Structure 1
Amino acid sequence: MNMRHAADLLRTLTEEHAVPGAQLAVDTGTELISVATGVTRSGGGLPVDSGTAFAYGSVTKAFTATLVVQLASDGDIGLDEPLAGSLAEFRQPKDRAAGSITARQLLSHTAGLVSDHQLPDPGERSLFRYAASVAALPLLLEPGSSFSYANTGYNLLGRLVEEVTGTSWQAALGDFLLGPLGIRPHFLHGSGPSGRVAAEGHAVRPGERQARPVGLYLPPTWAPAGGLCGSARDLVSFARLHTGTHTGTHAGGAPLLGPQDRAEMHTSQPAADAFGMADGWTLGLARYGADGHWLGHDGTVDGATCHLRFHPATGAAVALTTNATTGTRLWPALLRELRTLGLDVADYTGALPASPAADRALADPAPLFGEYANGDTVFSVRPHGAGIRLSDPSGLLADLALYDGLHFSARRTDTAAAPYPGRFVQDPATGAVHLMQLAGRSATRLPAAA
C-alpha cells in the first residue's frame, strides 16, 4: 500500500458509508502511511487533515489505563491494593464488597460495577463527588468474578489518578503521556484551548445516505472513560509506545512504558471473558483474533467512531477515526481491503453462526422475555410483530435475531450502525435465563411483576 492507494481507499469507503470525514493511519512496522478525507461537518465544514481532532470515545480508556500503569510503575498506585486504601469515598461503601475493588479489576472491567452512572447535575465536574456517588450504589456482580464493561470504572480510575498526582486527570494525561509522545492534548471538556480543529459528529439513519450533525455529548465526569480527542496519526504514536518502537522517556530519563509495564498491560486477565466485545481483555486493552496477538480498542460517542489495532510482535498498527455512526460499518470493510493487501489485522467477529437459530431451544422465545437491569438502565425484551424488540428508557430500539446457544445480534432501528452481539445466560442450577450480555455489558434479570 502506498499513500495514493490509501487515500483512494479511504475516500471510496467514506463515500460508500456516507461518512463526511475520516482519517486513516497505517504503520506497517517499517513505514507510516497517514491520509485524511472529507470535511469536519457535513454541508459546510473545514477539510479534514492529519491534525484534525476526532472524538476517540472509549479508546480514551486505553490512554487512561496506560497512565495508571505508569503511575503503578512509579509506586504511586498498587494495582492489587483495595481502592479504599487510596480513596476515602470507598472506605464505607453501600456494598461492603466495593471496598475491596482494585485498580486491576477496574482496568479489566471485572470490578462488578454498573456500566454507566451519571450524577443528577449533568454539568458536574467533580470526580470526588462522582466517586462518592458510585460508592453509594449496589454492585452489579461480585468484584473479580466476571467481565462487564463499565465506563464507571474508568471514571473511578480518573479519580484515582487525581488523588495520587494532586492534579486533574487531563493535566496528568498531558504531562505524563501525551506531551512526551508529542501529542497535543484536545479534550471534549477542555482544559484550555488546544488550537486544533475538531470534527463534529453525524448520525446516518438506516436506508438513508444523509449524514445529520449531532452534538457530541459526554458528562464531564466521564472524561477519563471517553473524553479524549485526537487524530489517527496520534493513535499510531500511542501504539508505538506499546509495540516498543517508541523509545521516549520522561524528563527524568525513565521510559514512558518499560518492557515489564508493557508485558503487564498486555497480559490477558483470567476473569475477563469479554464476550460481545473482544476475544479477551488485558489491563485496558482488548485482544483480537484466535491467537489474541492483536491488541487495541474501539470507541463510539454520539456520531463519531474510532478504532485502533496494533501487533506488539511486528510493530504493525492501524487507526481509523470517523465523524459518523456508520464508521462502525466502514471499519470491517477497511479491514477486508487491508487483508487483500497483506496486512491481516484481526477483529472480533462475535462468534455468531452464519444464520439465525434453528434449534428447538429457541423455537419458543417466550422464556427470554422480561426486563434486565444494569444499574439504572433497564432493558426490556418483548415480542414485536413476528420478531423480538429490545428497548430501554433512553430510547434504544433494536431488533434481535436469535442464534443457537442463546446468542443474538441486536440491530438498532435508528441508525445504520453495525449490529451488537449478545447472549442470554442460563443459571447453571435452574436452567432459567438470569443474565443478558449485550456488547460486553451484563444485565441481571429482574423478577417478573406479581
Structure 2
Amino acid sequence: MNMRHAADLLSTLAREHAVPGAQLAVDTGTEVFSVATGVTRSTAGVPVEDGTAFAYGSVTKAFTATLVLQLASDGDIGLDDPLADSLAEFRRPKDRAAAALTARQLLSHTAGLVSDHQLPDPGERSLFRYAASVAALPLLLAPGTSFSYANTGYNLLGRLVEEVTGTSWQTALGDFLLGPLGIRPHFLHGSGPGGRVEAEGHAVRPGEREARPVGLYLPPTWAPAGGLCGSARDLLGFARLHTGAAAGADTLLGPRDRAAMHTPQPAADAFGMADGWTLGLARYGADGQWLGHDGTVDGATCHLRFHPASGAAVALTTNATTGTRLWPELLAELRTLGLDVADYTGARPESPQSTESPAAGRTPADPAPLYGDYANGDTVFSVRPHGDGIRLSDPSGLLADLELHDGLRFSARRTDTAAAPYPGRFVPDPATGAVDLMQLAGRSATRLRGVGHSAA
C-alpha cells in the first residue's frame, strides 16, 4: 500500500457512503502515513486536513483508561481498592454494593452500573455532583459478574482522576498523556488551548445520499467517556504508545503496565461489541491480538485498531453516521493489500431463525414471548410488534426494526439514519427458560415484569 492508493481508497469509500469528510492513518509496522478527504461541513465547509479535529466519541475511553493506568503505576490509584476509599460520594451509596466498586470494574465495564446516567441540568460541569448522583442510584447488575457497557463508569473514572490529581480530567489528560505524545489537546467542551479546526457531524437517512449537519449533544459531565477530539494521525500516536514504538513509551506506560492493560478481564463478555475486553480496550479476532475501540457521537464516527506484537495500527475518523458502514469495507480492502486487521464478527447471524423454543436457546417462530420492556436505569427499551415485524424504541426517540436470528440474536436497524445495524440478543433465565435480559450493542437491560411478560 502507498499513500496515493490509500487516498484514492478513502475518497472512493467516502463518496459511496455520503461521508462529507474523513481521515485515515495507517502504520504497517514499517511505514506510517495518513490521508484526508472531503470537507468539515457539507455546506460551506473547509477541506479536511491532516490536523483537523474529529470527535472521537467513545474512543475517548481508551485515553481515560490509559491515564488511569499511568496513575495506578505511580501508586495514586489502586485498581482493586474500593472506590469509596478515594471518593466520599461512595461511602454511603444507596446500593451498599456500590461502596466496593473498583477502578478495575469500571475500566472493564463489569461494575454493574447503569449505562447512560445524566444529571437534570444538562449543562452541569461538576464531576463531584455527577458522582454523588450515581451513588444515589441502584446498581443494574451485581458488580464483577457481567459485562454491561457504561459511559457512567468512565465518568466516575474522570472524577477519580480529578480527586487524586487535584486537577480536572482535561488538564490531567493533557499534562500526563496527550502532551508527552505530542498531541495537541482538543475537547468538545472547549477546554484546552484550542486553535484546531473541528469537523461537524452529519446524519444520513436510510435510502438517501444527503448528509445533513446535526448538532452535537454531550453533557460536560460525560467528557471522560466521550469528550476528546483529534485526528486519525493523533490516534496512531496513541497506538504507538501501546505497541511500545512511541518515543519514551516505557516512561509513559511501561511494558508491565501495557501488558496489564492488554489482558482480558474475567466476566467481560462483550457480546455485541467485541471478542473480549481489557482494562479499557476491546479485543478483536479469534486470538484477541488486535486491540482498540470504536466511537460514535451525533454524526461522527471513530475507529482504532492496533496489533502490539507487530506494531501495526489503523485509525479512521469520519463526520457522518455512515462512517460505521465505511469502516468494514475499508478493512476488507486493507486485507486484500496485506494488512489483515481484525474486527468483531461474533454477533453476526450464522443461521436462519429456528422454530425451537427460547429455553433451547433458539429464536421462536412466534416472537410474542420476547415482547416487553427492558430497563437500564431510566432508559426503558420497548420491544413490540410493528406491522409484520418487531420495533425497538426508547424514550429518547430511538426507533429500530429488529431482525431475529438463530440463538435469540437480533440486528437492530435504525429507521432515522443509515448507520450499520446494532447487534443484540435476548438472554433466558437458565432456571426457567423465560427471557429476562436483553443485550443491545454491549449494554444490558433487565426485563420489567408485568409488561408483555408473566412472572416465572
TM-score range, shorter chain: over 0.9
CA–CA distance in structure 2, aligned partners of residues 428 and 327 of structure 1: 38
- Find out whether 1:274 has 2:276 as its counterpart: no
CA–CA distance in structure 2, aligned partners of residues 322 and 445 of structure 1: 35
SS, match of residue 316 in structure 2: strand
In 1, are the aligned partners of 2:53 and 2:197 still within 8 Å (CA)?
Answer: yes
SS, match of residue 179 in structure 2: helix
Partner of 2:142: 142
Partner of 2:384: 382
In 2, are the aligned partners of 1:356 and 1:401 still within 8 Å (CA)?
Answer: no
Provide TM-score, normalisation by structure 2: 0.97
* CA displacement 1:7-64 (0-9 Å, x = unmatched): 0000000000000000000000011020000000002101000000000000000000
SS, match of residue 58 in structure 1: helix
Provide TM-score, normalisation by structure 1: 0.98
SS, match of residue 436 in structure 1: strand
SS, match of residue 251 in structure 2: coil
- Find out whether 1:214 has 2:214 as its counterpart: yes
* CA displacement 1:273-329 (0-9 Å, x = unmatched): 000000000000000011100000000000000000000000000000000000000
CA–CA distance in structure 2, aligned partners of residues 92 and 430 of structure 1: 35
Superposed, 1:91-170 pairs within 5 Å as 91-170=91-170
How far apart are residue 359 of structure 1 and its match? Answer: 3.1
Partner of 1:446: 448
In 2, are the aligned partners of 1:359 and 1:404 still within 8 Å (CA)?
Answer: no
Partner of 1:392: 394
How far apart are residue 190 of structure 1 and its match? Answer: 1.4
Partner of 1:46: 46
Superposed, 1:200-279 pairs within 5 Å as 200-248=200-248, 255-279=251-275
Partner of 1:336: 332
- Find out whether 1:345 has 2:341 as its counterpart: yes
How far apart are residue 349 of structure 1 and its match? Answer: 1.3
CA–CA distance in structure 2, aligned partners of residues 313 and 359 of structure 1: 45
Structure 2: 5+ residue stretches without partners: 358-363
In 1, are the aligned partners of 2:170 and 2:192 still within 8 Å (CA)?
Answer: no
How far apart are residue 354 of structure 1 and its match? Answer: 4.4
Amino acid of the structure 1 residue aligned with 2:158: G
SS, match of residue 145 in structure 2: coil
Partner of 1:300: 296
In 2, are the aligned partners of 1:350 and 1:421 still within 8 Å (CA)?
Answer: no
Match of 2:311 among 304, 308, 315: 315
SS, match of residue 252 in structure 2: coil
Structure 1: 5+ residue stretches without partners: none
CA–CA distance in structure 2, aligned partners of residues 55 and 104 of structure 1: 26
CA–CA distance in structure 1, aligned partners of residues 351 and 21 of structure 2: 33
Partner of 2:286: 290
CA–CA distance in structure 1, aligned partners of residues 208 and 314 of structure 2: 29
* CA displacement 1:124-171 (0-9 Å, x = unmatched): 000000000000000000010100000000000000000000000000
CA–CA distance in structure 2, aligned partners of residues 118 and 351 of structure 1: 29
In 1, are the aligned partners of 2:201 and 2:298 still within 8 Å (CA)?
Answer: yes
CA–CA distance in structure 2, aligned partners of residues 163 and 330 of structure 1: 40
Amino acid of the structure 2 residue aligned with 1:415: T
Partner of 1:372: 374
CA–CA distance in structure 1, aligned partners of residues 236 and 407 of structure 2: 38
SS, match of residue 187 in structure 1: coil
CA–CA distance in structure 1, aligned partners of residues 22 and 382 of structure 2: 35
Partner of 2:6: 6
In 1, are the aligned partners of 2:40 and 2:46 still within 8 Å (CA)?
Answer: yes
* CA displacement 1:233-289 (0-9 Å, x = unmatched): 00000000000111326xxxx700000000010000011000000000000000001
Amino acid of the structure 1 residue aligned with 2:195: G
CA–CA distance in structure 1, aligned partners of residues 400 and 126 of structure 2: 34
Amino acid of the structure 2 residue aligned with 1:279: D
CA–CA distance in structure 2, aligned partners of residues 19 and 69 of structure 1: 35
- Comparing 355-364 with 391-400, which one deviates more in the overlay? 355-364
* CA displacement 1:407-443 (0-9 Å, x = unmatched): 1110001000000110000001111100000000000
CA–CA distance in structure 1, aligned partners of residues 12 and 109 of structure 2: 37
- Find out whether 1:433 has 2:435 as its counterpart: yes
Partner of 2:320: 324
In 2, are the aligned partners of 1:218 and 1:227 still within 8 Å (CA)?
Answer: yes
How far apart are residue 114 of structure 1 and its match? Answer: 0.1
Give the paired residue count: 446
CA–CA distance in structure 2, aligned partners of residues 414 and 122 of structure 1: 24
CA–CA distance in structure 1, aligned partners of residues 448 and 178 of structure 2: 43
In 1, are the aligned partners of 2:68 and 2:161 still within 8 Å (CA)?
Answer: yes
In 1, are the aligned partners of 2:185 and 2:192 still within 8 Å (CA)?
Answer: no
Partner of 2:189: 189
Partner of 1:83: 83
CA–CA distance in structure 2, aligned partners of residues 63 and 305 of structure 1: 16
Match of 1:412 among 407, 411, 414: 414
SS, match of residue 132 in structure 2: helix
